[in-house]
Amino acid sequence: MRAEILNIGTELLIGQVVNTNATYLARELAMRGIDLYFITTVGDNPERIQQALTLAWERADLVICTGGLGPTADDLTHEMVAQFVGEPMVLDPEVYRRVEEAFALKGRRLTESEKKLACFPRTAELIPNPAGTASGVLLIRENKRLMTFPGVPYELTQMWETWARPYLEALDGGTIRSRLLKFVGITEAEAAERVSDLEEGSNPTVAPYAGSGEVHLRVTAKAPSIAAAEDMLEPVIAEILNRLGEFYFGTEGDTLPAVVGQLLKSRNETLAVAESMTAGLLGSRITDIQGASDYFIGGSICYQVAEKARALGIPAEFIERHGHVSPEVTQAIAEAVRRLTGADWAVGVTGYAGAGPNTPDAEVGHAYVALAGADGTEIASFRFGEHPRERVKHFASQRALELMFKRLRRPAAH
């Protein structure tokens, strides 16, 4: 099968939005072994959308459109698709009712223009949107397929995962199976070097991706059956884990906060945080995991020096002496929050997220992370370099989770 992606939306042509949808879909297609030769971005213009649809339909068996499914005047995709296949737009009463209900829940009524959320090309099959009010469509003509998805990345990925993945799997004769292996505590270059011979194979393939402070390897096998593909994956995965096992933390769907949470749960232990530089980001990431309230107590956002003193009892002169970004203060806030909350583990973070009047240039991106437990406190220092503040904070929270992961994986002390 040969696919083509058509991203529709003027916001992409004026550079207002980065086209992460194309990247997501490209990766999904690559994983399924579906060839992708062209990605085209076009604005909210009827003539040019028709032109792009015509070309994509000529070149590909599967045309994936994103964007232009909303309720405003410049959302044209379904009208354009209907025109392209020569069908009228028809209101779907069932969708209309659901959209009406969704609006009613927010205390709103549908305006005239919003009714188009329930109008589709006549013979289209609907693609349900579990995350929003704009449905997509599937149209089939002479063994060619056209699909539409919203431009909102979260809605697109939800629809893709719940609908398109199983749909494409059912279509596909042979099968493709892939496994994602996630690692922390090793650089992409180092990981790639250790498995460079495996990366040369063509089936299974081994491909590295660098995440934000993580390294991901995807192993993919094509075979006539699921069982055969799994059999091909197994020895390659075993070999990778043999070489990189100490850095391995999980697979598809596993996140470092989730894995750390599982470790805490299985050890029946609790966690608290004292966040200066990250100012709550670590707590927020930990609680992105359902059930975090079982092990996450909470803690202190001790951003200003005064708050380190008030909430955690660290004497201002101690902070003055060592510097508010220092191994000593980081250890002190971690140990204080552990003692005060009674948590089994506590993490402290201090650092310089970005430039500022009181920050030496060379210190921007420098952070300390401390992990306090019953058997003492570990402190690590990191230099991330100059990045946007959000990135530096993310890196620091990532390193804190990494420290917890490494420590909690070791058997409990008692």
| For a second copy, the closer CB: 72 or 225 | 72
Tokens 């100490």 locate to 246
Shortest approach of a second copy to residue 247 CB, angstroms?
Answer: 16
Q: Which stretch binds a second copy (CB under 8 A): 20-28, 61-69, 118-126, 406-414?
A: 20-28
Shortest approach of a second copy to residue 176 CB, angstroms?
Answer: 10
Close Cβ partners of 319 (under 8 Å, ≥ 6 residues apart): 305, 308, 309, 329
409 close to 269: Cβ distance less than 8 angstroms: no
Q: Does 241 participate in binding a second copy (rule CB under 8 A)? A: no
Site for a second copy in 122-151 (CB under 8 A): 131
Shortest approach of a second copy to residue 123 CB, angstroms?
Answer: 28
| For a second copy, the closer CB: 190 or 231 | 190
Site for a second copy in 42-71 (CB under 8 A): 42-43, 45, 48, 52, 55, 70-71
Close Cβ partners of 246 (under 8 Å, ≥ 6 residues apart): 185
57 close to 144: Cβ distance less than 8 angstroms: yes
149 close to 160: Cβ distance less than 8 angstroms: yes
Taking Cα atoms as reference points, which of 246, 264, 281 lies closest to residue 400? 281
Site for a second copy in 107-126 (CB under 8 A): 108, 111, 113-114
Alpha-carbon distance 410 to 414, whole Å? 12
Alpha-carbon distance 386 to 8, whole Å? 35
Single-letter amino acid, residue 78: H
Site for a second copy in 249-268 (CB under 8 A): none
Shortest approach of a second copy to residue 333 CB, angstroms?
Answer: 11
Taking Cα atoms as reference points, which of 139, 21, 18 lies closest to residue 80? 139
- Select the residue interacting with a second copy from 36, 146, 236, 334 (CB under 8 A): 36
Alpha-carbon distance 308 to 302, whole Å? 5
My answer on whether omega of the bond before 208 falls inside 30° of 0, hence cis, is: no
Q: Does 362 participate in binding a second copy (rule CB under 8 A)? A: no
Q: Does 282 participate in binding a second copy (rule CB under 8 A)? A: yes
Q: Does 379 participate in binding a second copy (rule CB under 8 A)? A: no
- Select the residue interacting with a second copy from 67, 261, 299, 348 (CB under 8 A): 299
Q: Does 186 participate in binding a second copy (rule CB under 8 A)? A: no
Dihedral through CA 335, CA 337, CA 341, CA 343, nearest 10? -50
| For a second copy, the closer CB: 376 or 388 | 388
Alpha-carbon distance 364 to 273, whole Å? 22
Alpha-carbon distance 281 to 212, whole Å? 15
Alpha-carbon distance 104 to 110, whole Å? 8
Shortest approach of a second copy to residue 219 CB, angstroms?
Answer: 12
Shortest approach of a second copy to residue 87 CB, angstroms?
Answer: 26
Site for a second copy in 204-233 (CB under 8 A): 207-210, 218
Q: Does 243 participate in binding a second copy (rule CB under 8 A)? A: no
244 close to 206: Cβ distance less than 8 angstroms: no
| For a second copy, the closer CB: 210 or 316 | 210
| For a second copy, the closer CB: 51 or 123 | 51
Shortest approach of a second copy to residue 127 CB, angstroms?
Answer: 19
Per DSSP, helices labelled H in 300-387 are 305-312, 316-322, 327-341
Q: Does 188 participate in binding a second copy (rule CB under 8 A)? A: yes
- Select the residue interacting with a second copy from 199, 231, 246, 375 (CB under 8 A): 199
Close Cβ partners of 266 (under 8 Å, ≥ 6 residues apart): none
Q: Which stretch binds a second copy (CB under 8 A): 141-149, 161-169, 239-247, 351-359?
A: 351-359
Q: Does 242 participate in binding a second copy (rule CB under 8 A)? A: no
Q: Does 104 participate in binding a second copy (rule CB under 8 A)? A: no
- Select the residue interacting with a second copy from 97, 243, 383, 409 (CB under 8 A): 383
Shortest approach of a second copy to residue 411 CB, angstroms?
Answer: 26
How many residues lie near a second copy (CB under 8 A)?
Answer: 106
Dihedral through CA 389, CA 391, CA 395, CA 396, nearest 10? 20
Q: Does 101 participate in binding a second copy (rule CB under 8 A)? A: no
